Structure 1
């Protein structure tokens, strides 16, 4: 469906075209008209389903019809679980608002960096994208007020709860006006998320995008049988053999991610790690360099990768399998976006074989598993 049929302004349609969006995703088709009408929305969808634009576009349009925000009284609040996602959402709002006649100021705030610069820049903010802990810090410093929030977005609500933000979220809810529009997005609808839906949302439109549907057919999936000790050499062999230039590698632990990066750099492959032990500045710079093509390989843990949204990412490699099939789908869904093809590679040890069978069964798709016995990995 074309974005032009969803009721958005010409200024937004111009920005959409410039960003390279073509047809609207299913969640955008349903959510945008509902948000424009003022309805609450419950979206059950994985990252990669197009949900950020599904709430950013109509919020920007609605703010055009409202008076400018009073200083430090934000109109729209977007709560997110991680710093990376906060930056990503802020960037989406900025890119889509570029042609609006009434300027909309969006700002992302998160922990791990000094609070003072954030306090100084908050003046005049219309849309605040925040992690729960840092938002409460700013409230305690009287740097921001929530009493005039008209639209609340809970993005990746399940992840916020999994990270232990329930108490912070409850404190934030208590500071918000009772009359407001609520938009909640989550990959799952577990007990705590269901409680938030029941207590905070009012007769919401429910939109459910199946996890399997978020894995584009354009993703070419392949796996390699390999022993644990040969994983590193095989990874380097594949990167060099296929001349991979932009590769997102997933590892299950911080230690493994750092080890992979060390070995890649030692063998002349420019790489960086993205995980929770890195400073915010280092993580932001690594992601910036990777997007710009200056770093060939980015090695990430699942949590730190939240918010990585690269339109034409060609390669994802599972150095280690995730715990759940849903996380596997989420990982490989980073590639094959925006109608561009992508390749997802998994390195399967004998210990992984049974788990990978379960992943394929849940995904409803068989993945070709290739032997590596005849590949010469000496000196790689």
Structure 2
């Protein structure tokens, strides 16, 4: 099936062609026609499955010929859980907005940067991408109004709830008009998502493409049994011996992310840490440089385990295991995306062995465990 067969206008199909996007993913095949027809949608699909384009494309198409709203009254509100995801969604909207035959101003707002600057540039925005806390700040300052929103999107809803945004979500939903189109997208379906669905969605089309939620078949997985004091040397040995030029490393804390990055740099392996305690400028710069291949190693907390699309990422290393098996799957899911193979490596200390067995059981995949003592490090 082609994108044109889904009912998208010619100018958006041309934008897709320019970006070498020719065949829609399953979530896009089902969501795009429904959203074009102004139907509410609940979409459940794993990260990396094309969810963002599945709502951005029809939303932009539906904005054509829409009456102009009063200043600071937005037509489309897209809620996301993190700054990084806000910027990513904004980038997707920008890519497809270039071909629009009408004016569509888009803006991403999030914490960690000046609210005053965002207030001043809010004028005539049609599509607003926002994190919940910053959106409420702007509403309280009368910088933006939600009473004319035509389309409301909650993206990565499960992540948003896991981060404790339930109260903010309730406040925002209460400010929206009753008559609107609502789109809810999530990587998983759980009771919290179902409760939001009942409150926010009106007779939605339910799209559930999550049967392969734990699918890791495109990821070559390896684990190394290592003592805690040998983790650093083993990490450096793997990066050098495998000639890794783009590797994402996950740690359990901001402190550990900084420590790992510092040690790598001291050993002439270019690395930067990214976590919630970094400034937005530092986070954006590090991520952009990493995506562009200008930075060899990015060391992160779980801030990057969901919702960030890094195309063709070849390596992910779990320097420390996450508490949840699902978080492990989301972490390694940064590689092996969109039909591109990748390699995931876990460093497993003795205290982690039982937990790693649980993770493997959840994935329904046994991972080869190599004794680091056999390596010349």
Give the structure 2 partner of residue 212 of structure 1.
Answer: 212
Give the structure 2 partner of residue 329 of structure 1.
Answer: 329
CA distance in 1, matches of 2:30, 2:214: 16
CA distance in 2, matches of 1:23, 1:213: 21
Give the structure 2 partner of residue 359 of structure 1.
Answer: 359
1:273-332 per-position Cα deviation (integer Å, ceiling 9, x unaligned): 111111111111111111121211001111355442111111111111122222122111
Conserved in 1, the CA contact under 8 Å of 2:45 and 2:208? yes
Give the alignment of 1:141-220 within 5 angstroms: 141-210=141-210, 212-213=212-213, 215=215, 217-220=217-220
Conserved in 2, the CA contact under 8 Å of 1:57 and 1:96? yes
Give the structure 2 partner of residue 261 of structure 1.
Answer: 261
1:325-371 per-position Cα deviation (integer Å, ceiling 9, x unaligned): 22122111111223322111111222222222222222122222222
Tell me the TM-score normalized by structure 2. Answer: 0.95
Conserved in 2, the CA contact under 8 Å of 1:221 and 1:343? yes
- Unaligned stretches of 5+ residues in structure 2: none
Conserved in 1, the CA contact under 8 Å of 2:306 and 2:331? no
- Unaligned stretches of 5+ residues in structure 1: none
Give the structure 1 partner of residue 103 of structure 2.
Answer: 103
Q: 1:339 to 1:22 in 2, by over 3 A?
A: farther
Q: 1:363 to 1:99 in 2, by over 3 A?
A: same
Is the aligned partner of 1:229 residue 2:229? yes
Q: 1:127: how far off?
A: 0.6
Q: 1:181: how far off?
A: 0.3
Is the aligned partner of 1:68 residue 2:71? no
Give the structure 2 partner of residue 58 of structure 1.
Answer: 58
Conserved in 1, the CA contact under 8 Å of 2:232 and 2:260? yes
CA distance in 2, matches of 1:101, 1:107: 19
Q: 1:317 to 1:211 in 2, by over 3 A?
A: farther
Conserved in 2, the CA contact under 8 Å of 1:248 and 1:316? yes
CA distance in 2, matches of 1:181, 1:203: 11
CA distance in 2, matches of 1:216, 1:103: 41
Give the structure 2 partner of residue 373 of structure 1.
Answer: 373
Give the structure 1 partner of residue 11 of structure 2.
Answer: 11
Tell me the TM-score normalized by structure 1. Answer: 0.95
Give the structure 2 partner of residue 115 of structure 1.
Answer: 115
1:127-165 per-position Cα deviation (integer Å, ceiling 9, x unaligned): 100011111111111111111100000111222222222
CA distance in 2, matches of 1:305, 1:285: 18
Comparing 216-225 and 24-33, the one that deviates more? 216-225
CA distance in 2, matches of 1:12, 1:215: 31
Conserved in 2, the CA contact under 8 Å of 1:264 and 1:271? yes
Is the aligned partner of 1:48 residue 2:48? yes
Task: Give the secondary structure class of the aligned counterpart of 1:263.
Answer: helix
- RMSD value over aligned CA atoms? 1.6
Give the structure 2 partner of residue 94 of structure 1.
Answer: 94
Q: 1:216: how far off?
A: 5.4
Conserved in 1, the CA contact under 8 Å of 2:306 and 2:330? no
1:49-84 per-position Cα deviation (integer Å, ceiling 9, x unaligned): 211111111111111242234321110000111111
Conserved in 1, the CA contact under 8 Å of 2:156 and 2:307? no
